[in-house]
Amino acid sequence: MSWSKLKQQLESFLSPALHGRVEYRATSYRYLPGKPGICYLAVDKKNVLNMSETTGSIRWYQTEQEIKNDPDLQIPISQEEIEAIRKETKGTVPEERLQVIARNRKITELAKELLSVQAALSKSNFVTAATTFLSISIDESLESNDILLNILALVDRRVGKKRILNMAEKMKLKHPAVQYFYELRRSTL
């Protein structure tokens, strides 16, 4: 599928409140066959998510320690996770320490997942991800671990106000790029 046709289809699914604000852009190098094109998402004429480099206005993590030390990253801990650690330690660990252990475990797991997804995105082909988005359900896109599929679903008109508002807790566990587009969409409600 040509880029112009793909862009047209993506824009047809864009939420009415985001028309003119979110743009899908691409450049290609016609005379340099070995050099791939660059695809990026722009919000209010500003390049926000560049598919070829790790530069942009969204925070990209380089190491697991950066994720662990990020004060802006909020990790919700459920009572079930605390209970699992209590059973594991046979009740010998103080209550406040159980929360610290649960949070650290969850952050380590999340950090590994974020770094692997982030690495895949910087190497990904936007056209392939967009084509996949157009061929699967909106639910699959929202539940996917692919950052790009999540973003495309969040700016989609098929995701309603109630659904956006109910995603708040899930979004805390997503990559900062996904959180950025979630907040953008939420601000238009």
- 175 — pLDDT class (breaks 50, 70, 90): confident
- 54 — pLDDT class (breaks 50, 70, 90): very low
Least confident of 35-39, 50-54, 85-89, 136-140: 50-54
SS3 call for 125: coil
**Mean pLDDT of the region 51-68:** 63
